[in-house]
């Protein structure tokens, strides 16, 4: 307001000066004075009118409401960009840390690990699609930086009949945690069963998914992905790391028919048990070929459950209590194959059976402070060869996470590990995380 008045005053003075100079050149002094006086009078009247209008707006705010609304402002951006950086540090009494911490985004060494630095991009492509991409940087045990296109997919936004299409490379929807990124995990490491079934980086590949939201009054969704079955992130299928599962030489198995692709169906449903409690249950399968033989295949089945209670007067989402559990089983049909270790030995055809589970309980004690406990176990039946990847083991973890704000996190976690035939280990890990850029929306 003060600024406007000052501007108006300058305008008046400036106008008067200009008109005075012009008048001096043209007219006699008495006529100049009269004209100046008239100009001052009319400007004063105009200013009084303006002042009275402003006063009336201040006095009567309803009048302001009747005025036309402000122009709609521009919101959003063509693309949201965010960056999440994760640093782990800590110690384990097992010097060979990767033997204990098998996940790609777990702490790798005694000391410091940068397990995940993630550049996330997302945006609306056009009226029909949304696009997502995640580019991940990791520093390995030797200090080398690895870059990978972790995810890149488009998601349809306007298919009819409650259908939705996703296509590209993505973490497939199998259970609850497989398609969560490390910054959304409740612990510093991935559950053992996910690494046992899918490998160090979970199950992801290139493919397409069709999902259908059922027209029921409660949430139920059916989805099926069809994906390539080859590569390091499809370890139970046509992966170059499969030798560690079946112990035999790898068969260079090409895609001959649709049967050589991987199929991942999933059903999920959810109920609000009360106003403050929600339950989500799901069942998933991953079916596809493996490279122990020309017709060998793998079947993985899983069930998952998530329950959450949140206070009706939650502040920043706290307090809450949640339970999450997943159980999986794998039938790996290994064909008759030559042993990778001793090529003169033929391993018999056999079905390698593995299973595992984890269960975790989280307590959001007060705003931005969460305590958690997790128990887990994995195991496999005996086979014609020994594989470190299939030994029985279990882990008990407890952690405390403090979020200084929504955009940073500090975690401390203790792990007790037991490996059959090897022994027990203790580890203490700390984790620091920061997020910059667009505020990503959370999923349930």
What whole-number distance in Å separates Cα of residue 28 and Cα of residue 16?
17
Shortest gap between Cβ of 66 and another protein (angstroms)? 8
By C-beta, is 177 or 415 nearer to another protein? Answer: 177
By C-beta, is 302 or 364 nearer to another protein? Answer: 364
What whole-number distance in Å separates Cα of residue 304 and Cα of residue 136?
27
What whole-number distance in Å separates Cα of residue 88 and Cα of residue 136?
16
Q: Are 335 and 249 in contact (CB under 8 A)?
A: no
Closest alpha carbon to 378 in 399, 358, 356: 356
By C-beta, is 161 or 256 nearer to another protein? Answer: 161
By C-beta, is 95 or 312 nearer to another protein? Answer: 312
What whole-number distance in Å separates Cα of residue 273 and Cα of residue 309?
10
Dihedral (C-alpha) 179, 184, 190, 193: value to the nearest 10 degrees?
A: -50
Cα 103–Cα 109–Cα 113 angle in degrees, nearest 5: 75
Shortest gap between Cβ of 208 and another protein (angstroms)? 16
By C-beta, is 295 or 406 nearer to another protein? Answer: 406
Cβ burial 47-85 (10 Å sphere, 16+ → b, else e): eeeeeeeeeeeeeeeeeeeeeeeeeeeeeeeeebebebb
Q: Are 193 and 376 in contact (CB under 8 A)?
A: yes
By C-beta, is 269 or 394 nearer to another protein? Answer: 269
What whole-number distance in Å separates Cα of residue 208 and Cα of residue 216?
25
Shortest gap between Cβ of 198 and another protein (angstroms)? 24
Shortest gap between Cβ of 207 and another protein (angstroms)? 19
Shortest gap between Cβ of 211 and another protein (angstroms)? 9
By C-beta, is 75 or 344 nearer to another protein? Answer: 75
By C-beta, is 1 or 258 nearer to another protein? Answer: 1
Q: Which residues bind another protein (CB under 8 A)?
A: 61-62, 64-66, 69-70, 72-73, 75-76, 127, 130, 155-159, 162-164, 213, 216-219, 221, 268, 270-272, 275, 278, 280, 308, 310-317, 367-368, 405-407, 439, 441-444
Shortest gap between Cβ of 7 and another protein (angstroms)? 21
DSSP characters over 262-288:
EEEEEEEEEEESSSSEEEEEEEEEEEE
Shortest gap between Cβ of 219 and another protein (angstroms)? 4
Shortest gap between Cβ of 6 and another protein (angstroms)? 22
Closest alpha carbon to 185 in 365, 372, 320, 311: 372
Q: Are 393 and 102 in contact (CB under 8 A)?
A: no
């Amino acid at each position: 307001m003060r600024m406007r008045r000052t501007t108006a005053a300058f305008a008046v003075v400036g106008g008067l000066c200009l008109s005075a100079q012009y008048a001096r050149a043209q007219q006699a002094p008495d006529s100049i004075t009269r004209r100046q006086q008239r100009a001052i009078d009319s400007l004063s009247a105009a200013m009084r009118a303006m002042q009275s209008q402003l006063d009336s707006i201040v006095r009567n705010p309803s009048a302001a409401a009747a005025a036309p609304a402000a122009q709609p402002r521009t919101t959003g951006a063509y693309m949201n960009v965010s960056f999440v950086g994760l640093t782990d540090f800590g110690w384990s009494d097992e010097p060979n840390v990767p033997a204990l911490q098998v996940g790609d985004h777990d702490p790798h060494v005694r000391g410091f690990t940068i397990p995940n630095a993630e550049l996330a991009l997302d945006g609306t492509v056009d009226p029909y699609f949304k696009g997502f991409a995640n580019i991940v940087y990791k520093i390995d045990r030797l200090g080398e930086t690895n870059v990978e296109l972790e995810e890149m997919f488009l998601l349809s936004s306007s298919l009819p009949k409650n259908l939705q299409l996703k296509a590209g490379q993505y973490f497939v929807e199998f259970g609850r945690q497989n398609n969560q990124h490390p910054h959304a995990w409740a612990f510093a490491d991935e559950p053992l069963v996910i690494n046992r079934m899918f490998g160090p980086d979970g199950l992801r590949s290139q493919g397409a998914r069709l999902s259908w939201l059922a027209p029921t009054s409660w949430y139920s969704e059916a989805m099926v992905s069809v994906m390539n079955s080859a590569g390091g992130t499809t370890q139970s299928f046509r992966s170059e790391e499969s030798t560690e599962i079946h112990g035999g030489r790898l068969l260079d198995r090409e895609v001959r028919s649709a049967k050589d692709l991987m199929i991942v169906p999933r059903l999920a449903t959810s109920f609000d048990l009360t106003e403050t409690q929600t339950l989500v249950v799901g069942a998933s399968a991953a079916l596809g070929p493996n490279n122990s033989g020309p017709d060998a295949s793998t079947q993985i089945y899983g069930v998952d459950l998530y329950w959450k209670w949140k206070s009706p007067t939650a502040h920043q989402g706290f307090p809450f209590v949640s339970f999450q559990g997943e159980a999986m089983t794998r039938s790996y049909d290994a064909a008759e194959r030559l042993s990778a270790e001793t090529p003169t030995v033929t391993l018999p055809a056999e079905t390698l059976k593995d299973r595992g589970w984890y269960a975790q309980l989280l307590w959001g004690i007060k705003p931005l402070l969460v305590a958690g406990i997790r128990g887990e176990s994995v195991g496999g039946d005996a086979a014609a060869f020994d594989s470190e990847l299939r030994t029985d083991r279990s882990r008990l973890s407890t952690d405390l996470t403090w979020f200084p704000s929504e955009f940073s996190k500090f975690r401390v976690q203790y792990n007790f590990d037991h490996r059959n035939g090897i022994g027990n280990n203790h580890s203490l890990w700390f984790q620091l995380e920061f997020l910059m850029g667009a505020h990503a929306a959370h999923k349930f």
